[in-house]
Chain A
Amino acid sequence: MSDLLSLSLTGARDALKAKKTSSTELTDAYIGAMEAGKSLNAFITETPDKARAMAKASDEKLAKGEGGAMEGLPIGIKDLFCTQGVLTTAASHILDGFKPEYESTVSQNLWNAGAVMLGKLNLDEFAMGSSNETSHYGPVENPWRRSGGDNAKLVPGGSSGGSAAAVAGRLAIAATGTDTGGSIRQPASLCGIVGIKPTYGRCSRWGVVAFASSLDQAGPLTRTVSDAALMLGAMAGHDPKDSTSADLAVPDFEAALTGDVRGMKIGIPKEYRVDGMPAEIDALWQKGAAMLKDAGAEIVDISLPHTKYALPTYYIIAPAEASSNLARYDGVRYGLRVDGDSLNEMYENTRAEGFGDEVKRRILIGTYVLSAGYYDAYYLKAQKVRALIQKDFNDAYQSVDAILTPTAPSAAFAIGENEDDPIKMYLNDVFTVPASLAGLPGISVPVGLSGEGLPLGLQVLGKAFDEETVLKVGGVLEQAAGFDALPGFLAGGK
């Protein structure tokens, strides 16, 4: 079968079921694609041998008419998920050589569903970043380039930058990501693909290297909304090993994609029209609202009054949790150790050399906001504002079924462009962070191109554990937008 790489996840699934191709054939095509796409630096570790062995096993099942929902489909795994016997780095020097003796629940769920592992994808160090530039393994390149001669290498967004670039550039048919403040949705938007962060508690966090425990959620990055529905279904589920995992059955997400949004109420939050928002983003947002209206939905103006405070709230809570979560990287039980004359020196040397600048910044901020005398002013205050942000959403959902916003305030920017100013970088997450703080599901769907020919996404937010509505609205948006632009780099060609 020709052009295997252009198949979507559901398309490939159907082709495998119909025996139009084999998992081995598909997997080999992607192993070739990984090779061809090396310049993107999307993978930290490639596991072609493992992929071939898994594909072979899948083919045997498929031949017998057996297999799970993801049987034989070759995917990439963000290198924040622990994978048994396979180097797991979180893109940090401090996890040098770490090969977990265990498999994360989400990746295990995917293998149980028959998926094939291509390798481990690059990310911002410990998922702290919005551009994939903080990786110890170097930046990831966005497969897209600006139109009009500027050949600058662009960031894929972050922190799931390797995942987004690999899926957009066809180095993987789909990939896992994690989203703490926008790390699935923002790179999906910047790379012209689909990314969904489910409700907090929908996917197990067990075996996922923790950044900020009250915010981290796994989700898929895919080429289509139905791909996202398929893969999320395989990743999700109650896990007794994660106390924050929701004890709820996983719905048939694909079945939710009815394309019918007639009578649904879609909220447009006025506070998301932030100062200095580029006109083309605003225009895209209005275009998206018009599409949904044309499909029969009712567009409702709503207010989420504390939106402005989401980002500062996030930049207290996430670093605070991170400062504690990252204390375990101390050179004693795994990863890097830099010797010292005393235990404390060993700790200080190891952590100084093992962590990059952005991680250090966040650890120090987090340590400070929790320290004696500052806890109430920072951390406690932030948790109170967080409660208000959650209340904003609860109030809004009294009158609407879903909320439509832009995903990111800009298209992909050049590598190095925003590096000097941490706040400027943090502002990338201005539209994604509020839902993260409230634990709500959100999807980014590519809807149009910027003036420079770069993809732009819109975000659909939903009620807690109502990913079905999020996917349904996202699907309608996808259908209406008919986004079919392709990036400059595409493994296997256009």
Chain B
Amino acid sequence: MAKITFITSDNESITLEGSSGSVMALAVDNGIKGIDGDCGGVCSCATCHVHVRPEDMEKTGTASEIEADMLELDDNADEFSRLCCQLEIGDHLDGVVLRVAK
């Protein structure tokens, strides 16, 4: 079980618990504002963009090459950006804080 915190663009903080699946699916199932996940999690739409809290980057790791190529063309992207469909939930993600980009 991992506790994952989302901070939306209007500064609402929501903490959810999950044990499997992607972080994107957890967010969509719980109606987190700004996470649309249009493509269902195959890394084609970039509608699940989050900024990882810098100290949590160790837990999430950095974006893969394909993910980075998508993010490269997002004007809001920075070195802490991830597409959260590519973050698989597991104990290693417990406590991470993600700021929703949109």
Pairing of A with B: no
